[in-house]
């Protein structure tokens, strides 16, 4: 496909347009009618550990089942060696001594040679991604019982060729657990590597928390996050980051709900649970999907801070997922759940004199995280939700009146269930209502005016999860096509136009591993080494990095531009950068030529035009990550207007400096 656009041909200048002229069928952008503030949180990101978003994804740990706590303790591991006999390798359980991490591996080592007894781990999906020349940090918690065992650590490619490794001689007192570490450099790379640990010597060796991290984590933090994944998030300049979900907040049942307190403190004390997406879809079984919480609430807050986003945690409201068990905690036993919410605010904002502020300080962040938003419940519904939401609201507002509380309006935006929740939450005077819509592209096009009539004085709206799904039922990995992205862009012009009421919006889900996804489409796809942003990502980034500070009226023949003649337009002004920004979406299969006239502003004359376009079925892939790509060209504008050519099926942004 030819992406080259000759902007010189596309654009000509309308010198003759006067300030008050109303040009029939032209896009009239009137800065004098600058309407409402665009919230700095307007465009954000939704993070959930689905599709291997955290474990096997953002959390850069390369070893699957490092602590032998998966349902099957040796899942992910192979026992290797010529000399291994029945009973030499046992899974031990110290339940009473260590509730969070009870299991460990005991190896009775009688190995004269490397190759006699060992373990192997092939990572999360399709092997481990290893990069040539990169440092790798191996660590293990171990205990020797009068033993003298040497560990040979090796990274091998799919043909068993050595990529790198080292020798670790555990030190420390006999009979005591201790962390042992070794770093080495990979001399070659592979997308499908495995880790071997050979034991040499004699004696009883206990092993736990066997871990391998790449040296190139985000900000070089030890045991940190995959830098390429964080970078794509940072590039979006998101206004907020919602975490940890999504349905995993609710859990399959209450016992398996997300409990933030179990995700903070030393990682070996964080109790893993089965990921809710492990068993959810029969067509995409994921029996090895667990949440280790190496990426826990401290790390989420830190990530938010790193990328300049407001942290937006969502907490369980005393209800398990209503698509699963639908368990609810009795109202008279809701206190621990409410307590969790109050304690979380203290963890984020409290000082060192408070219990949870102290923990945050000990974890390395004495300054508060400055939490302002908190969600209560994910996709919960019914009177049982409203009853519980009210209890949370009363308790949190009494102690922290300035925290903005977000409540869920369920799973869908049109039903009786939605109307009941929306009315109830408005009656409660909720600060923000969280709406979700996974719908066909046509729904997004029809609903671009959804918020035009919303009450400006009522609760704000958080479009907390949305994505255009090009087919109704089947979930397929090839659905991040331009048709979906362009429909979302059209809809987003409606969100932007209604920034007076819509304060936050996030596409969902965020990440998907090409080898280990459960749900598609998703915003960003990655394998063990590579990553790409979908066309949907490009649209999100375009809006987010050009959000402006105030909306500006953009009309054709005095009407909002929301679907007539397949055109969708919104406009904002950035009063800090002194830029006027017009976003135009042409969902028509043919080119349009549009005049644009600007009123109420003195243009500086320089600007840029960004175009994203494609065939409706186009998409990016791991091998062609930039198949669809925005093209930007500088332009000069003389006078008060210009003519823009909008290619077929395109998203076009005009940005002009003003005095
Ligand atoms: O984004 C995937 C899932 O969709 C979320 O976990 C849930 O909130 C919604 O149903």
Ligand 1 and 519: CB distance under 6 A: yes
Counting residues of the chain whose pLDDT is more than 70, the rounded percentage is 96
Ligand 1 and 244: CB distance under 6 A: no
The pLDDT, as a whole number, for residue 14 is 44
Ligand 1 and 377: CB distance under 6 A: no
CA distance 572 to 550: 5
Whether cis (ω within 30° of 0) applies to the bond prior to 86 is: no
The pLDDT, as a whole number, for residue 239 is 98
**Ligand 1 centroid from CA 434, angstroms:** 12
**What are the residues facing 218 on neighbouring strands?**
none
DSSP string, 525-548: EE-SS-EEE-HHHHHHHHHHTT--
Do the Cβ atoms of 66 and 209 come closer than 8 Å? yes
- The CATH H-level (homologous superfamily) assignment of domain 77-214 is Galactose-binding domain-like (2.60.120.260)
**Ligand 1 centroid from CA 190, angstroms:** 33
Closest among 263, 246, 285 to 380, alpha carbons compared: 246
Global pTM value:
0.95
**Is the pLDDT at 17 greater than 80, yes or no?**
no
Atom of ligand 1 nearest to the CA of 249: 6
The phi-psi region of residue 645 (left if phi > 0; otherwise alpha if psi is between -120 and 50; otherwise beta) is beta
Least confident of 1-10, 367-376, 449-458: 1-10
Ligand 1 and 378: CB distance under 6 A: yes
Atom of ligand 1 nearest to the CA of 519: 2
E strands along 575-649, which residues? Answer: 579-586, 592-599, 603-613, 631-636, 641-646
**Ligand 1 centroid from CA 469, angstroms:** 13
CA-proximal residue: ligand 1, atom 8 (nearest): 246
CA distance 26 to 143: 76
φ/ψ (deg, to 5) at 449: -100, 10
The pLDDT, as a whole number, for residue 163 is 98
Do the Cβ atoms of 141 and 177 come closer than 8 Å? yes
Least confident of 135-139, 184-188, 356-360, 472-476: 472-476
The bridge status of strand 89-93 relative to strand 77-80 is unpaired
The bridge status of strand 603-613 relative to strand 502-507 is unpaired
Atom of ligand 1 nearest to the CA of 46: 1
Ligand 1 and 516: CB distance under 6 A: no
φ/ψ (deg, to 5) at 41: -90, 5
**Is the pLDDT at 45 greater than 80, yes or no?**
yes
**Ligand 1 centroid from CA 517, angstroms:** 13
The pLDDT, as a whole number, for residue 283 is 84
Ligand 1 and 30: CB distance under 6 A: no
Do the Cβ atoms of 46 and 242 come closer than 8 Å? yes
The pLDDT, as a whole number, for residue 257 is 97
Ligand 1 and 508: CB distance under 6 A: yes
The SS3 of residue 404 is strand
Q: Say how far residue 50 (Cα) sits from the centre of its chain.
A: 9
Closest among 227, 213, 372 to 306, alpha carbons compared: 227
The SS3 of residue 347 is helix
The pLDDT, as a whole number, for residue 11 is 42
CA distance 275 to 504: 27
| Distance (Å) of CA 353 to CA 362, 372, 585 | 12, 20, 53
CA-proximal residue: ligand 1, atom 1 (nearest): 509
CA distance 406 to 375: 4
Query: What are the tens digits of pLDDT across the range 95-115?
Result: 888 999 999 999 999 988 888
The phi-psi region of residue 401 (left if phi > 0; otherwise alpha if psi is between -120 and 50; otherwise beta) is alpha
Do the Cβ atoms of 178 and 235 come closer than 8 Å? no
The pLDDT, as a whole number, for residue 330 is 98
Closest among 355, 416, 436, 421 to 387, alpha carbons compared: 421
Closest among 282, 225, 273 to 250, alpha carbons compared: 273
CA distance 317 to 328: 9
**Is the pLDDT at 516 greater than 80, yes or no?**
yes
Domain limits, the chain: 7-38+549-658, 45-60+218-257+279-348+366-544, 77-214
Ligand 1 and 49: CB distance under 6 A: no
**Ligand 1 centroid from CA 352, angstroms:** 36
Tokens of 444: 């997004």
CA distance 408 to 410: 5
**Ligand 1 centroid from CA 508, angstroms:** 7
- Burial label for 466, CB within 10 Å (0-12, 13-18, 19+), is buried
Q: Candidates 377, 509, 520: which one to mutate for ligand 1, based on the most atoms within 8 Å of Cβ?
A: 509
Ligand 1 and 379: CB distance under 6 A: yes
CA distance 91 to 327: 33
Ligand 1 and 50: CB distance under 6 A: yes
Atom of ligand 1 nearest to the CA of 509: 1
481: CB partners within 8 A, 6+ apart: 470, 535, 616, 617, 618, 619
The pLDDT, as a whole number, for residue 19 is 41
The pLDDT, as a whole number, for residue 131 is 98
Mean pLDDT of 142-150: 90
**Ligand 1 centroid from CA 587, angstroms:** 27
**Ligand 1 centroid from CA 248, angstroms:** 8
CA distance 253 to 411: 18
Mean pLDDT of 73-92: 95
Closest among 436, 612, 608 to 533, alpha carbons compared: 612
Ligand 1 and 245: CB distance under 6 A: yes
Tell me which fold the domain 7-38+549-658 belongs to: Immunoglobulin-like (2.60.40)
Do the Cβ atoms of 37 and 499 come closer than 8 Å? yes
The bridge status of strand 631-636 relative to strand 579-586 is unpaired
Least confident of 8-12, 289-293, 307-311: 8-12
Closest among 486, 491, 526, 530 to 509, alpha carbons compared: 526
Q: Candidates 250, 314, 417, 436: which one to mutate for ligand 1, based on the most atoms within 8 Å of Cβ?
A: 436
Mean pLDDT of 551-580: 97
CA-proximal residue: ligand 1, atom 6 (nearest): 246
How high is the mean pLDDT of the chain? 94
**Is the pLDDT at 71 greater than 60, yes or no?**
yes
Which residue, chain included where needed, has tokens 């499908």? 192
Ligand 1 and 247: CB distance under 6 A: yes
Which residue, chain included where needed, has tokens 């770093």? 183
The total number of residues shown for the chain amounts to 659
Atom of ligand 1 nearest to the CA of 323: 10
The CATH number of the structural domain formed by 45-60+218-257+279-348+366-544 is: 3.20.20.80
**Is the pLDDT at 18 greater than 70, yes or no?**
no
Ligand 1 and 375: CB distance under 6 A: no
The pLDDT, as a whole number, for residue 12 is 43
Atom of ligand 1 nearest to the CA of 379: 8
**Ligand 1 centroid from CA 208, angstroms:** 33
Residue 28's CB is within 10 A of a number of other CB atoms, namely 23
The pLDDT, as a whole number, for residue 619 is 96
CA distance 513 to 645: 38
Closest among 105, 111, 107 to 82, alpha carbons compared: 111
Whether cis (ω within 30° of 0) applies to the bond prior to 256 is: no
Across 478-517, b (16+ Cβ under 10 Å) vs e yields ebbbbbbbbbbbbbbbbbbbbbbbbbbbbbbbbbbbbebb
Query: What are the tens digits of pLDDT across the range 153-202?
Result: 999 999 999 999 999 999 888 899 999 999 999 999 999 999 999 999 99
Query: What are the tens digits of pLDDT across the range 370-409?
Result: 999 999 999 999 999 999 999 999 999 999 999 999 999 9
Catalytic site positions: 379
Least confident of 32-36, 209-213, 406-410, 626-630: 32-36
CA distance 46 to 435: 13
């Amino acid at each position: 496909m030819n992406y080259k656009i000759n902007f010189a041909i596309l654009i000509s200048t309308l010198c003759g347009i006067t300030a008050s002229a109303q040009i029939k069928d032209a896009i009239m952008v009137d800065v004098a009618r600058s309407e409402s503030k665009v919230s700095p949180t307007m465009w954000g990101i939704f993070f959930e550990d689905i599709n291997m978003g955290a474990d096997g994804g953002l959390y850069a740990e390369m070893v699957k089942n490092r602590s032998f706590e998966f349902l099957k303790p040796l899942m992910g591991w192979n026992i290797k060696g010529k000399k291994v006999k029945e009973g030499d390798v046992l899974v031990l359980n110290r339940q009473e001594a260590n509730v969070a991490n009870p299991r460990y591996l005991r190896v009775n080592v009688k190995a004269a040679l490397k190759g006699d007894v060992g373990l192997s781990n092939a990572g999360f999906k399709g092997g481990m991604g290893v990069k040539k020349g990169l440092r790798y940090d191996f660590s293990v918690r171990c205990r020797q019982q009068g033993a003298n065992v040497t560990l040979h650590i090796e990274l091998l490619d799919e043909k068993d060729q050595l990529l790198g490794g080292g020798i670790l001689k555990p030190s420390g007192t006999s009979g005591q657990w201790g962390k042992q570490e070794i770093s080495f450099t990979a001399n070659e790379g592979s997308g499908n590597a495995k880790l071997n640990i050979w034991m040499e010597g004699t004696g009883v060796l206990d092993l736990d928390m066997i871990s391998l991290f790449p040296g190139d984590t985000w900000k070089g933090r030890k045991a940190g996050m995959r830098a390429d994944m964080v970078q794509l998030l940072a590039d979006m300049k998101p206004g907020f980051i919602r975490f940890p979900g999504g349905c995993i907040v609710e859990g399959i049942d209450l016992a398996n709900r997300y409990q933030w307190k179990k995700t903070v403190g030393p990682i070996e004390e964080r109790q893993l649970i089965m990921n809710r997406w492990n068993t959810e879809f029969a067509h995409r079984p994921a029996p090895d999907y667990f949440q280790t919480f190496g990426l826990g609430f401290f790390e989420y807050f830190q990530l938010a801070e790193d990328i300049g986003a407001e942290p937006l945690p969502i907490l369980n409201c005393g209800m398990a997922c209503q698509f699963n068990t639908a368990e609810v905690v009795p109202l008279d036993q809701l206190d621990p759940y409410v307590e969790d919410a109050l304690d979380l605010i203290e963890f984020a904002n409290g000082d060192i004199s408070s219990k949870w502020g102290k923990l945050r300080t000990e974890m390395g962040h004495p300054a508060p995280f400055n939490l302002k938003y908190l969600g209560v419940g994910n996709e919960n519904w019914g009177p049982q939700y409203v009853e519980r939401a009210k209890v949370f609201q009363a308790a949190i507002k009494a102690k922290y009146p300035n925290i903005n509380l977000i409540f869920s309006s369920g799973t869908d935006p049109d039903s009786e269930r939605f109307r009941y929740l929306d009315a109830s939450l408005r009656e409660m005077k909720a600060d923000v209502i969280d709406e979700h819509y996974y719908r066909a592209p046509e729904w997004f096009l029809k609903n671009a005016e959804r918020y035009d009539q919303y009450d400006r004085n009522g609760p704000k709206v958080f479009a907390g999860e949305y994505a255009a799904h090009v087919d109704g039922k089947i979930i397929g990995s090839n659905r991040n096509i331009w048709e979906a992205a362009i429909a979302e862009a059209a809809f987003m012009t409606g969100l932007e136009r209604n920034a007076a009421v819509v304060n936050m919006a996030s596409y969902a889900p965020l990440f998907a591993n090409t080898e280990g996804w459960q749900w598609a489409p998703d915003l960003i796809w990655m394998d063990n080494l590579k990553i790409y942003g979908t066309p949907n990502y490009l649209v999100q980034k375009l809006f987010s990095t050009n959000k402006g500070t105030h909306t500006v009226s953009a009309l054709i023949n005095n009407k909002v531009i929301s679907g007539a003649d397949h055109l969708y337009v919104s406009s904002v002004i950035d009063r800090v950068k002194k830029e006027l920004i017009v976003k135009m979406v042409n969902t028509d299969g043919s080119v349009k030529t549009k005049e644009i006239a600007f009123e109420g502003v003195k243009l500086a004359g320089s600007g840029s035009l960004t175009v994203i376009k494609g065939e409706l079925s186009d998409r990016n892939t791991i091998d062609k990550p930039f198949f669809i790509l925005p093209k930007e060209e500088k332009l000069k504008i003389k006078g008060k207007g210009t003519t823009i050519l909008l290619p077929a099926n395109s998203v076009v942004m005009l940005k002009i400096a003003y005095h």
